[in-house]
Amino acid sequence: MATPLTADGFLVALHAEGVRVAEYGSWRTHTRTSSGRPWGPVHGVVIHHTVSSGTSSSVELCAEGYAGLPGPLCHGVIAKDGIVHLVGSGRTNHAGGGDPVVLQHVIDEDYSDRPPAPTKGNADGVDGNARFYGFECINLGDGKDPWPAAQLDAIERVSAALCRAHGWSAKSVIGHLEWSDDKSDPRGFTMPDMRARVARRLSGQSTPPKPAPRYTEDAVITYLPPIPANTDVDIPVEPAGTLADPQGGARNGPLWLCLAAQGADGQVVTTYHQEGGSWGAPAKAVSVTVAGSKHVMSLPAGEGVDKVRIRSTVPLVGYVTGRQVA
Ligand SMILES: [Zn+2]
């Protein structure tokens, strides 16, 4: 049990942990606390993802709320660059209803890897907004949107800051999915991993920064099976952003499909398929020759194309090359 920090106490605790902070509007007095809507005693921290992209719009949404759920929707919004935008103080609308069994385990800090799975949620649980600090992390929550090292570092730091200020262990930090049986956030890292990081930080060890990503140009990504003549062969193409780089970018720089004719000269027709959509019109046929160099096509992997159909009048061999995170 703990008395909540004041707004200034909260800010001091974050600064002391090395959190980079941006203050949004009159966050110190922007609150849902009122008679009948208590704040405190506090028992921990809940981590969320926003299911949104873009820092300014996400911060504004979390500050102002939306029809049916007035803001503030958390205390701080953790952007992809690791800056924590403070949007509210006191009670905020982030945790909703959750499982009282989980709450007791968080208070007692007596679980091992993770608390028991919640069996209550927003509709039938106990009030979490009175009990938890909340941080919304900007992420689409689709399991593909990357979690940059700077953002994970900020989650670790804000969590450790509040644990240190209140004398809690890392077990006082939970994910929304561990609190409510109808929630899935945060998605893309695990809370046991994050608690391990917070615990290391609280014990005086910090998590070593990840090395900056390197790119290998022209790496062969996939060797294709032999492509027979006069047959449609569909080649999956990685859609934009599916392989994250640790700094928050996505892989899809150029991808190239390299084809070589086998046995005879011929013609190749290419057709693109849009992700979740349909096949486009076939492109103009191009010539492939046995004597010539391989035919190199640039694949529009960043424009929603998820399949490329090859139809050739002669057998082909080929491979896909492109930029990869090393
Ligand atoms: Zn949430």
User: How much distance in Å is there from the Cα of 94 to the middle of ligand 1?
Assistant: 6
Rounded to an integer, what distance in angstroms lies between the CA atom of residue 126 and that of residue 128?
6
- Best-predicted range by mean pLDDT among 30-44, 265-279, 301-315? 30-44
- Cα(77) to ligand 1 centroid in Å equals 12
Q: How far is the CA of 46 from the centre of ligand 1 (A)?
A: 8
In one-letter notation, the amino acid at residue 224 is: L
In the sheet that 295-299 helps form, which strands lie side by side, from edge to edge? Answer: 215-223, 316-325, 255-261, 295-299
Helix 149-166 crosses helix 7-16 at what angle (to 10 degrees)?
120
CATH of 215-325, one of 1.20.1740, 3.30.460, 1.10.10, 2.60.290: 2.60.290
**Over residues 173-198, mean pLDDT:** 97
Query: Ligand 1 centroid to 269 CA: how many Å?
Result: 48
CATH 2.60.290 maps onto the chain at 215-325
Residue 202: phi, psi to the nearest 5?
-65, -30
Q: How far is the centre of ligand 1, averaged over its atoms, from the C-alpha of 312 (Å)?
A: 51
pLDDT at 255: 65
Domain 7-202, second-level architecture: 3-Layer(aba) Sandwich (3.40)
**Span(s) in the chain for CATH 3.40.80.10:** 7-202
> Which residues surround the ion ligand 1 when the cut-off is CB under 5 Å?
48, 176, 185
Q: How confident is the model at residue 239 (pLDDT cuts 50, 70, 90)?
A: low
Asked if residue 30 lies in contact with residue 87, where contact means CB atoms within 8 angstroms, the answer is yes
Going from the Cα of 70 to the center of ligand 1, the distance in angstroms, rounded, reads: 15
Buried residues in 116-147 as b, exposed as e (16+ CB within 10 A): eebebbeeebbbbbbbbbbbbbbbbbeebbbb
In this predicted structure, what is the pLDDT of residue 246? 45
pLDDT digits (tens, 9 = 90+) for 267-282: 999 998 887 788 988 9
User: How remote is the CA of residue 289 from the centroid of ligand 1, in Å?
Assistant: 57
Which among 26-35, 230-239, 240-249, 277-286 has the top mean pLDDT? 26-35
Q: How remote is the CA of residue 215 from the centroid of ligand 1, in Å? A: 34
Lowest mean pLDDT among 74-88, 112-126, 235-249: 235-249
Ligand 1 centre to CA of 316 (Å) is: 50
Question: Residue 325: beta bridge partners?
Answer: 215
Instruction: State yes or no: pLDDT of 323 exceeds 70.
Output: no
pLDDT band at 300 (very low <50, low <70, confident <90, very high): low
